[in-house]
Chains A and B, each alone.
Chain A
Amino acid sequence: MNGHLQADELLMIVAIASYVVGGLALLVYFFSRETWLRNLGAPLAIVGCVAQFAQLIVRYEITGIWPLLNLYGSLSLFAAMSVAIFIGFAIRYKLWFAGGFVLAIAAIFLAYGVTWNEGTMPPVPSLQSYWAKIHVPIVVSSYAAFLVAFVFSCVYLIKYYAEQRIANATVVASAALEGGGTVTVATPALSAAAAGGNPLAQWLETLPSLAQLDVIVYRAVAIGLPLISLGIITGAAWAKEAWGAYWQWDPKETAALCTWIIYLAYMHLHTRNAWRGLRTNWISVGGFVLVIFTYLGVNIWISGLHSYKM
């Protein structure tokens, strides 16, 4: 028993250490583009993620209790799923440069989750349902997908505003040159500035184009939105069994509905050319703030049927 417990703790230490070191390496890689940093950070991300899933399995083995029914287990799965989804994106679309942010956030959530580790605790009756086993991983995975969307939205916004700055600087330069002409297009200015040796512009050029970043965010939301829909549906099915009504307007489910609505708005606006890009990415950032409120804020500030924290 004790040996098992040590394995469990050891895996958690491996995961956190991998995320911290891998995260730092990838954060530096984000700015410096030194290949060795990516070659260090990417495998560590994978090691950390595998260690986390192994840790959850080991915990289940030891306790015989589904490990996701408290904040410790669920935050741990959230971190693992965020990294797993990111790894999928990174491999498919060559996006390791953003890994530092994902790993750093995962490490923070994981460290926070560890503070909620109360040891083995049998679940209260309402949590003793197979729906709980289905519902929690789905909801947590949707949050993880929204985290990945959030990170790429941030990269989008960084790139967008940096490009604007360069474009504006170019306007000033050309205005000085030509005595008052207007230059409005941003991207050619970026290429020109990069060619002219502007380090910020050169760095920005190593990032995917704004259009590509926007598509990546869309793809992440396209994972999160069906998942949160399914999460709400399975939650409703469970509520029907446990509390008698599939919808009780409990703060947690209601906050999840809000999150669903904001990403639904994202998807609708994304069909519009004028809104796709800057504005939809701001919505994705706002959506993630709401995700965090739904996930943690409701438990901390608002009591309800879902607040299982002690």
Chain B
Amino acid sequence: MATKVSALYDDFIRTFGNVLFAVLLFVVWGILTLIGVIVDQGKSATTYFDSYPAAIARAIIRLGFDNIYHSPWYVGIIGLILVSLTVCTFKRVIPARLPPLRPVKIDKIPLNASIYVRGSEASVRDRVESFFRSRGWSVRKREFGGEEWTFADKHNWARRGVLIAHLGFVIIAAGTTVYWAHGFSGETAIVTGQAVRIPETNAILKLDSFRYKITPILTKSGMVYQPTDYVSNVTVTGRDGIPKQMLVRVNHPIDIDGTLYYQASYGFATRMRVTHDGVNVASLSDRVLEEGEAFDIPGTRNTLVYDRFVPTVDKQSGMPAADPRVNDPAVILSVQQNGETAGTALVPLHTWIDLGNGWRVTPERYLLYSGFQYRYDPGIPLVGIGSLVLLSGLIISFYFLPARLYVRVDPSEAGCTVGVAAMTVKGYDIFAGQFQALLQDLQSSMEPPGPNPHLRKAEAY
């Protein structure tokens, strides 16, 4: 039993500690992410059946691909990546990137060269060391079995770059988890003059006014009505109970007791006057409807839907115009029977539409409403710090190449052979050019000119 568990453990470590496995996880992560780009997220089932063949639509819904980023697949793959990253960091990265000083067989390492230098062993050793020191290499000496080895390192500290990058990812993951555990977000639309209590925070927001600015621009492809500003004037009452007037604009959220409120959208609410046999029906006429809202007509199976507001009706065609500024406003109303649309009409403001059985509806006046998003995210500092840590890890990993030189000085004939091999954390090719230049420099700095039969070309590629 114990051996079975330990064999299982070994398999787990071997699999999760393998970079190729990690890359496989990345690939799955990438594919899931891409599915979310291609398949519209958070739509109703009918939308998928309208856009895809039935079998695919069914699969999308069953597999949770309609909300993929919160599906068990997605959370699971991130979890597996975190496990793999942890195992890999301890089992692979640390041993591989922080190797102890040890002797090597110089000519077995692809990046190697040896040069011949005249002089006694001690003096050559000193000169070689001071050469490397003067080039910014940090030199250490060790004895192994009575033989002296010199090790020269560059950017040794940067060996930790990978660890920093990996740590950054873990911190970001922690930050997003904090939001899941303790954060919240929501949205609310407030009609001008009305107040709303935010359920999660108990803050009260009253919309005093909303303004939008549209700039018409004549472009090559015709008139474009470019929105250039959305501003909500609100009175907010937070935890201290003191109402304050504030301004919310796009890119300028407000902070009430740690929760941020954002300008997200706007629209036109309409007050409809509803009459039955010429008598005002107060219970229905008092309501202000937002776009998309509906009410049932009493005593019938009809539902009146306020589809949308039309700021400008084109005088000539009688159809909605592109201008989003309010000139000749109308509303689009539709009547539904048992969930099916029975008819739709464009109804100018102050005119009435007859719904049959003595019912009449008159869109009387419009009021702007402003849509707000609010969000409390205590994970943000962690995500921010994690991002910076991750970024520093990447920069350290990519721009500071830790390289180690293994240097041996062996007496030969009237001088010494200096053998040098180099290893980096990214293979040999990346250091080949520098190695060659370094060795040439070493040779010329050692050299009282004369024949040097032992110089071998650095074996770069």
Contact = CB atoms under 8 A, between A and B. Distances in A.
25 contacts: A119-B219, A122-B226, A122-B228, A125-B228, A125-B230, A125-B251, A128-B250, A129-B251, A212-B461, A215-B430, A218-B430, A229-B391, A233-B388, A240-B380, A243-B262, A244-B260, A244-B262, A245-B373, A246-B377, A249-B41, A254-B34, A254-B37, A268-B26, A271-B19, A271-B426
Nearest to B373: A244
A125 B29 CA distance: 33
Given A211-B429, A226-B391, A125 B250 contact: yes
Contact of B69 (A129, A222, A249, A267): A249
Contacts of B249: 125
A302 interface: yes
Contacts of A245: 185, 373, 375, 377
A124 interface: yes
A261 B26 contact: yes
Given A120-B217, A128-B251, A244-B260, 6 more contacts: A118-B220, A121-B226, A233-B391, A246-B380, A258-B30, A267-B398
Contacts of B144: none
A269 B22 CA distance: 10
Nearest to A262: B30
A92 to B, nearest CB: 11
Nearest to A241: B251
Contacts of B377: 245-246
Interface size class of A (residues with CB under 8 A): 35 or more
Given A211-B429, A218-B430, A261 B398 contact: no
A126 B250 contact: yes
A211 B252 CA distance: 51
A222 B399 contact: yes
B461 A226 contact: no
A225 B219 contact: no
B171 interface: no
A214 interface: yes
Given A243-B262, A254-B36, A310-B224, A261 B22 contact: no
A244 B391 contact: no
Q: Among A118, A249, A251, A273, which residue has the most Cβ atoms of chain B within 10 A?
A: A249
A222 B375 CA distance: 35
B374 interface: yes
Interface string B249-290: 111110000001011100000000000000000000000000
A140 B38 CA distance: 22
B30 A272 contact: no
Q: Among A225, A230, A242, A246, which residue has the most Cβ atoms of chain B within 10 A?
A: A246
Nearest 4 pairs of A and B residues by beta carbon: A125-B250, A222-B398, A244-B262, A211-B429
Contacts of B36: 249, 254
Contacts of B26: 261-262, 264-265, 268
Interface in B399-424: 399
A272 B220 contact: no
A209 interface: yes
B19 A272 contact: yes
Interface of A: 118-126, 128-129, 187, 209-212, 214-215, 218, 222, 225-226, 229-230, 233, 236, 240-246, 249, 251, 254-255, 257-258, 261-262, 264-265, 267-273, 276, 298, 302, 310
Interface string B179-210: 00000010000000000000000000000000
B375 A124 contact: no
Contact of A211 (B37, B251, B388, B432): B432
Given A125-B251, A242-B250, A270-B426, A251 B391 contact: no
Contact of B27 (A122, A214, A265): A265
Nearest to A298: B37
B234 interface: no
Nearest to A301: B38
Contacts of A210: 461
Contacts of A119: 217, 219-220
A287 to B, nearest CB: 10
B346 interface: no
B227 interface: yes
Nearest to A225: B394
A125 B429 contact: no
A242 B230 CA distance: 12
A254 to B, nearest CB: 5
Interface string B14-36: 00000110110011011001101
A264 B33 CA distance: 15
Contacts of B461: 187, 209-212
Nearest to B395: A226
A222 B185 CA distance: 37
B89 interface: no
B398 A226 contact: yes
A156 B38 CA distance: 32
A225 B394 CA distance: 8
A268 B251 contact: no
B34 to A, nearest CB: 5
Nearest to B262: A244
A268 B19 contact: yes
A122 B215 contact: yes
B240 to A, nearest CB: 23
Nearest to B249: A125
A283 B217 CA distance: 44
B226 A124 contact: yes
A225 B69 CA distance: 23
A242 B263 CA distance: 8
A307 B432 CA distance: 46
A86 B373 CA distance: 44
Given A209-B461, A269-B23, A298-B37, A244 B394 contact: no
A125 B460 contact: no
Contacts of A269: 19-20, 23
A298 B19 CA distance: 31
A273 B22 CA distance: 16
A230 B262 contact: no
Given A244-B185, A270-B426, A273-B427, A261 B228 contact: no
Interface string B57-70: 00000000000010
A47 to B, nearest CB: 29
Given A240-B380, A302-B37, A124 B227 contact: yes
